[in-house]
Structure 1
């Protein structure tokens, strides 16, 4: 009934009104790809709607839809711990994207409660859930936090946030202990003041940093670590003595992902999609295969092309009609989208790319889906266009 009423409202809208909106849009941004669709699927405004564009971080909307479909909002990432008869602790990473310091504090408390306070004679890290040479298109070998390397066992988004003054380096976060490896890496590559660097040079470095930070939190929780940190597989046949389930369900992780636009988190989630459907270890090919099948099942194979799940690759290509259809599929979870302007939307920004997509409330047509894609450097134009469309429609 509601759909019929909305369709009738569109038919009753004077043709000159729609034409006026289109003229204003064409005058303000003639090369922009723009689409606004009402709840019944009626296209209220369409300009360059089938022209492929680089989506940048609005790609994360597609990743969030795939994740909710495949993993579910209650899904929790897991990290497993094993203890041998010499009290060597083996840690098997499960690709948890939110092993941040606050989570490590919870993890360490649970672990020490499970294994006691007797000294741990060594820590062995198992990252075999991820391939040793994982390449994500668009991720470059830089110190930038957005270029952080994905991994099975990585902490604090695989970054170090520290302050360097003279020859001294200290943590920039009260909740995060500083470790020897963090000091060495920040001295080598960090700014002279405060900043965050990615541990993207060598997967072994980021893995060892995870081990150091886990050890530090074990000490904080009342345990002791007397041995060194090494890398290797968990011995076959052993059962975990403790399994840490991420305190945040996937739905909460997606809220943070869509708001903060963290590329590392996006691709950790994207990689888990493939492993969940096709079995571990993870691989980019598995996730692309699963995503491709789901897109094809919804007649979106030609309008949504993915190379990875964050939007950092310029090889991703969408059309506004394709993304608007994903927004229709994602509509039951629209509350996960919480844009910086207070709206239910997601931005995408890279050099020469300005995108905006989501849901908006209008006076005449209720909630609508919209996609705006620009190829200029005016960072505010996408929001001005959205305000124009909402005011006119």
Structure 2
């Protein structure tokens, strides 16, 4: 009896070993120079190809930002925007770095505000952006009109971008939920393409971001039954003035991170990353504070040499990971794997793409080894190849 069971066990082990060897050969044939690491739930390395070199993670770095945010801020965290009304009915708005202050959210904010302060005209709007320093710069973010280069700011709407249509000098909104405003028209005329397009607001003058958000807020206040008679300007909230309304983002952090990972939004990623430092070390935000907190977290988990960050989105080429370090972090992030996109086979993954870099990492669903952690880093124009490697992992393991 025991000899029979032992024979069956040996046969199964042989089949598993042969399957593993076949998967390794398939992966090598698909991407011979690629970095591929596959680790099972017990920490055994099932595939380890070219893993001794550090690699640029591109947007796979957003997994690290999501892990840090969940650990430091918590899944129920909600970003806040504070509103104050002085005796002259001047509305002061203090930005809190909300990454999802989209048109629909501003509509909700304006409606709630008017319910509180009534429909008597607002004299003017003053925008307080002091939560973010004016000199804030994120490595890898260029000062151009590309939407993925949108600058980070204390108060910004629609991911600090404008989606519009230009025909000659005429500019109209490309979104039915978003009114066109004077700042939007001026920016799109100056920097937008002919026809439909989405542009970022300029990095070298963050007051433009706030003024655009303020103009949108004024428009939504009008739609809610109120009105703004005067200008929108930049200033500070006076000492001693208490908020009349604190708007808490309708999406909690878990939902924001899900949308950030699905859309691979650089702006959202770095807004969240900057909040990590401010939460632990106090306002105002700074990149240095967030990097300090991240460094402390990496040290606590033995990742100091394995995960090197310059910012939280992956757009900087100064971000460098080791495959084993990322696999270890994926082990910590495993309870949050559902935040990642799901493949047809049931794997969870995040892509990363910058010129010359194609990455893929997450959790692969396999038949023989259950859910395994994987890291893939390729060079050149190999976006489809990384998914062929993932399918080889799913089928062969």
| TM class by smaller structure | over 0.9
Asked if residue 119 in structure 1 is aligned to residue 121 in structure 2, the reply is yes
**How many residues matched?**
386
Partner of 1:378: 382
Given that residues 378 and 386 in structure 2 are in contact (C-alpha distance below 8 angstroms), is that contact kept between their aligned partners in structure 1?
Answer: yes
- Pairing 1:177-192 to 2, within 5 Å after superposition: 177-192=179-194
| 1:178 to 1:367, Cα distance in 2 relative to 1, 3 A | same
1:265 Cα deviation from its structure 2 partner: 0.3
Which one of the candidate residues 258, 263, 268 is aligned to 2:266?
Answer: 263
1:19 Cα deviation from its structure 2 partner: 3.2
Given that residues 364 and 374 in structure 2 are in contact (C-alpha distance below 8 angstroms), is that contact kept between their aligned partners in structure 1?
Answer: yes
1:99 Cα deviation from its structure 2 partner: 0.2
1:178 Cα deviation from its structure 2 partner: 0.3
Which one of the candidate residues 79, 82, 85 is aligned to 1:83?
Answer: 85
| 1:13 to 1:270, Cα distance in 2 relative to 1, 3 A | farther
- Pairing 1:88-99 to 2, within 5 Å after superposition: 88-99=90-101
Partner of 1:33: 35
Please list the CA deviations of residues 333-379 of structure 1 after superposition, one character each: whole Å capped at 9, or x if unmatched: 11111247674110001111100011111000111111100012121
Partner of 2:243: 240
Given that residues 98 and 246 in structure 1 are in contact (C-alpha distance below 8 angstroms), is that contact kept between their aligned partners in structure 2?
Answer: yes
Alpha-carbon distance between aligned partners in 2 of 1:103 and 1:10, rounded to the nearest angstrom: 56
Please list the CA deviations of residues 90-113 of structure 1 after superposition, one character each: whole Å capped at 9, or x if unmatched: 000000000000000000001111
Alpha-carbon distance between aligned partners in 2 of 1:301 and 1:60, rounded to the nearest angstrom: 17
Please list the CA deviations of residues 85-144 of structure 1 after superposition, one character each: whole Å capped at 9, or x if unmatched: 000000000000000000000000011111111111010000000011101000001100
Please list the CA deviations of residues 48-69 of structure 1 after superposition, one character each: whole Å capped at 9, or x if unmatched: 2231001000000000000000
Alpha-carbon distance between aligned partners in 2 of 1:324 and 1:366, rounded to the nearest angstrom: 16
Which one of the candidate residues 261, 278, 282 is aligned to 2:281?
Answer: 278
1:38 Cα deviation from its structure 2 partner: 1.1
Superposed CA RMSD in Å reads: 1.6
Which one of the candidate residues 346, 371, 376 is aligned to 1:367?
Answer: 371
Given that residues 259 and 339 in structure 1 are in contact (C-alpha distance below 8 angstroms), is that contact kept between their aligned partners in structure 2?
Answer: no
Give the TM-score normalised by structure 2.
Answer: 0.94
- Pairing 1:240-389 to 2, within 5 Å after superposition: 240-339=243-342, 343-389=347-393
- Pairing 1:4-19 to 2, within 5 Å after superposition: 14-19=16-21
What runs of 5+ residues in structure 1 fail to find an aligned partner? 1-7
Partner of 2:151: 149
